[in-house]
Chains A and B, each alone.
Chain A
Amino acid sequence: MINIFAFNIPFASIFLLMITAIVTPLLPKKNRFNEKFSCCVIGLVAILSAYLLYALTNGGQSLAFNFSMGHFPAPWGNELRAGPLEAILALFFCVAMLLSLTGNFSSTAEDIAPNRRQIFCVLVNLLMASLLALTYTNDLFTAYVFIEINTIAACAIVAVKEGAGTTRAAIRYLIMSLVGSGLVMIAICLLYDLTGHLLMQNMHGAIQVLMVTKEYTMPLTVALALITVGLGIKSALYPFASWLPDAHGTSTNASSAILSGLVLKGHIFTIIKIFYRVFGLDVIHYLRMDTAIFIFGLVAMIMGSVHALRQTNIKRMIAWSSVAQVGYIFLGVGLNTVAGVAAACLHIIIHACVKPMLFTAAGGLSAVAGHKKNLHELMGTFYINRWAGLGLIAGAFSMMGIPAFAGFASKLSLTMASFDHPFIVWSLATLATSSVLNALYYVPAVIVVLTKNKNAQNKITAPEPTTLYKFSMFVFLSLNFYLGLFCMPLLRLITRGVNVLQ
């Protein structure tokens, strides 16, 4: 049985972050105290999540427990649920958030006015709390409430940097995201009407009964489709991803890193939870949603890269690359096997560590080139800010899937997972094509950054990267190599987590 300290960690992490968000406007702004305070709290939550993971998987067991929010048991009150998978995701979300904030600590100060920075800090804490709530919740309506918080906070951290471009991007993001919320809301209403529950395992039971009696198949299909499309819009599944490059490409570096690395992943994990805990894999297969997701994933992998090829702005290029990477995750989900979903979860984690590193590196490089973001203007910047250059190179190699870099591990596990699937040819061919396409746009970026600039007289004297930047980049790089070289224990842990998810 799990000890009482670890038992309270999911609840405590969500409430710690919420309370930090609420108290931040009242804290002193001087010396960026409130931002440092938030970073400390996120770090503390990361440590707590690591302990929870240890307690849940200690000694080869894989535990999962339910935590009822209040004095009333589950179908009547709200409930949280924590298993190994939730703990791993919470840990990596916290680490990626912390590194995104510390790595861009100085660029945030350049981009955002001081009175806005305070509210930025509130929003980041709310975003983190909502991500953890989405990870831990066992109740579909609670998930919806925190999807709302997530949506508003995510749009606001795009608009936090002043300018016409960010405002336009934020409005576009808000409209698309609200369409997604509306669809999810309709789907939850339909599901409640059909099952009479909002708690995930009770909905699962009711849906199993409906499947046996063959009643209400059509509304069930529509509800599943609506919830998938709604969350697909929010997680930038390809045909619905038109908002992403603007939102991620124009916002401040910290926001781009957080949005690309974390916000998309929270929604994808919600889809995985709904597939596993509400519908069940056999129902998903019966309603043909796995094939649909698989095809969407394949198209996203190719089209995201094709769009990225056409970009000249480095941040927009990295943003479009996120669309392709989301395609990889949906490919894993669409395989509809434990191995596939585990590979998808591994890719969620790896992308959550690599994409913030790429955005932080791109921000550092463009800062030394006088805040220019076009690729040809970044020539030779590697030699001015070597940490950022290393980050970009490692991130690019990771995205291409070079062995020993993080992306290789997830591509390998996705390939392994597709071996016992009827669509293996499609999946392998698309993985290969997409890797080549990734190389086609990341390699030129690396070459440009590494090429020495001949006309050195217009060289900009850039400030030395701060110690915090170097430290964050160092942690990003070590995480990258750790995930690339030693991913198998992590993958085994994830597989155990997926097995107890049902």
Chain B
Amino acid sequence: MHEELKNIWKNFFNWVLGNGPRPENEVIPPDPPPDLPFTQKPQDKYSRFHEATIKERYEQWLEIHGLHIFSILYSGLSILTCVVIVCLLLATVAELPPFGHERNPANNEVIRRYVEHGGHETGAQNIVAGLILDYRAFDTFGESAVLFTAAVSVLMILGASRRNKLNKSPSLKSETTSRNFLQRGPPSLDEPILRGVASLSIPAILMMGCVVVINGHLTPGGGFSGGAILSTALILASNAYGPERVHEFYNERTFIVSSSTALMIYALSKGYSFFTGANHFHSIIPKGTIGNIFSAGLILPLNICVGLIVAGTLYTFYSLFSKGDL
């Protein structure tokens, strides 16, 4: 006991003095070069302050205070710019047509047709779904492509290069895993509460997501919101059971193939619809009866496509930013 206390004290003493065991990857700075004899010493420029010219004094002053003054100026100007822009925008908003007034310019024939004829023209009970996936389906195609672009860009920047480096040097691998800041404590093994709750809630979340996606043309929701719900199930599973388990059924290849296929189905089916619409050809896509699950033409399959893309993109972002791999 006495020996052990002594040992602890010694360790503590060494730690205070900085003589403790060095970490393996510590960089030891090289020793400074030995001092030259006084006669050979290079003359210090500012040692004789009274002889310095104004320019030298200014440079010296700038070296000491420059950064400080710059940061003050920078933040001051930033605040000033922001205040000016905020005032300008607030003044603009105050001049806009009053909110919800019936004679506003936005309440025109465009909105009227969406509201009055949206149902039987698109076959969708949910007017918003009919608006974004039938009237203005090209914009929604662009939005899905934005997500796809962002996901493949992040995959390219974080995924491939990091993995290559990891394969090359195992030391970097341990460092990367230890820097895994989003993952508190060891993953999965000793978190019975998380795993228990996850096993109960993941099926429910998946079910909820599917319902929101599939009923997108009948009730509020659709591909974007349902896809976000689906991705939370994947993220929860990755946290509770470890990313390796999710990796078994959802990896980089699955993501690329599912998003590409979904976007492809969107592009081809909607391309057909655009082509027939613009050339006034007859389209073979049936509208169905409003309120049925199989109705509203292409909206149901398009919602499923968008849902797949959104779920995949959100999980990819989470996975790449938290552990650098998918």
Residues of chain A touching chain B, judged by Cβ–Cβ distance below 8 Å, are 4, 7-8, 11, 15, 18-19, 21-23, 25-26, 67-72, 75-78, 113, 115-116, 119-120, 122-123, 126, 133, 139, 141-142, 145-146, 148-149, 152-153, 155-156, 159-160, 162, 167, 186, 190, 192-197, 206, 216, 218-219, 222-223
Contact = CB atoms under 8 A, between A and B. Distances in A.
Contacts of A25: 152, 256-257, 260
B160 A7 contact: no
Nearest to A133: B142
Please indicate which of the listed interface residues B88, B95, B283 has the most CB atoms of chain A within 10 Å of its own CB.
Answer: B95
Given A22-B148, A126-B145, A190-B92, 6 more contacts: A7-B279, A23-B260, A25-B152, A67-B278, A71-B276, A148-B142
A19 B150 contact: no
Contact of B277 (A26, A69, A222): A69
Contacts of A197: 108, 110
A417 to B, nearest CB: 33
Given A8-B278, A72-B135, A196-B104, A152 B160 contact: no
Contact of B274 (A69, A116, A123, A159): A69
B130 to A, nearest CB: 10
B111 to A, nearest CB: 8
B138 A115 contact: no
Interface string B114-147: 1000000100000000000011111101110110
A250 B158 CA distance: 19
B145 A69 contact: no
B152 A119 contact: yes
B44 to A, nearest CB: 32
Given A22-B148, A123-B149, A196-B110, A69 B137 contact: yes
Contacts of B88: 222
Given A196-B104, A196-B106, A149 B114 contact: no
A4 B152 CA distance: 36
Contacts, number: 164
B275 to A, nearest CB: 7
Contacts of B264: 19, 22-23
B237 interface: no
B271 interface: yes
B142 A119 contact: no
Contacts of B145: 18, 21, 126, 149
Given A70-B135, A193-B105, A162 B149 contact: no
Contacts of B121: 72
Interface string B86-107: 0011011001110000001111
9 contacts: A22-B148, A69-B274, A69-B277, A70-B135, A70-B138, A75-B109, A75-B110, A156-B157, A195-B105
A11 to B, nearest CB: 6
Given A23-B260, A25-B256, A119-B156, A152 B146 contact: yes
B142 A146 contact: yes
Contact of B138 (A69, A126, A195): A69
Interface string B273-291: 1111111000100000000
B67 interface: no
Interface string B154-166: 0111001100100
Contact of A116 (B105, B160, B268): B160
Contacts of A23: 260, 264
Contacts of B104: 193, 196
A77 B113 CA distance: 11
B113 to A, nearest CB: 6
B235 interface: no
B263 interface: yes
B254 interface: no
Given A142-B142, A149-B146, A193 B156 contact: no
A11 B278 contact: yes
Nearest to B283: A71
Interface of B: 88-89, 91-92, 95-97, 104-111, 113-114, 121, 134-139, 141-143, 145-146, 148-150, 152-153, 155-157, 160-161, 164, 256-257, 260, 263-264, 267-268, 271, 273-279, 283
B165 to A, nearest CB: 10
A113 B273 contact: no
Given A123-B153, A193-B96, A218 B91 contact: yes
Nearest to B137: A70
Nearest to A209: B105
A196 B107 contact: yes
A190 B160 CA distance: 42
Nearest to B152: A119
A11 B142 contact: no
A145 B146 contact: yes
Given A4-B279, A22-B264, A145-B139, A156 B156 contact: yes
B92 A219 contact: yes
Contacts of A196: 104-108, 110-111
Contacts of A71: 273, 276-277, 283
Contact of B139 (A123, A142, A222): A142
B276 to A, nearest CB: 8
Contact of A206 (B105, B136, B149): B105
Contacts of B152: 25, 119, 122-123, 156
Interface centre among B91, B146, B277, B283 (most CB of A within 10 A): B146
A152 B267 contact: no
A21 B148 CA distance: 10
Given A11-B274, A15-B267, A216-B95, A162 B161 contact: yes
A100 B146 CA distance: 24
A325 to B, nearest CB: 27
Contacts of A162: 161
Nearest to B140: A145
Nearest to A142: B139
Contacts of A122: 152
A119 B151 CA distance: 11
A4 B281 CA distance: 12
Nearest to B266: A22
B278 A190 contact: no
Contacts of B95: 216, 218-219
A148 B143 CA distance: 9
B278 A78 contact: no
- Quick one: which of B111, B114, B143, B260 has the most chain A CB within 10 A? B260
Nearest to A126: B149
A113 B160 contact: yes
A141 B149 CA distance: 18
Contact of B143 (A4, A77, A145): A145
A23 B264 CA distance: 7
B135 A18 contact: no
A190 B277 contact: no
A27 B74 CA distance: 50
Nearest to A25: B256
Contact of A26 (B148, B155, B260): B260
Contacts of B279: 4, 7-8
A174 to B, nearest CB: 10
Contacts of A153: 149, 153
A72 B273 CA distance: 11
Given A68-B277, A71-B277, A152-B150, A22 B263 contact: yes
A222 B149 contact: no
Nearest to A152: B149
A139 B88 CA distance: 27
A119 B121 CA distance: 39
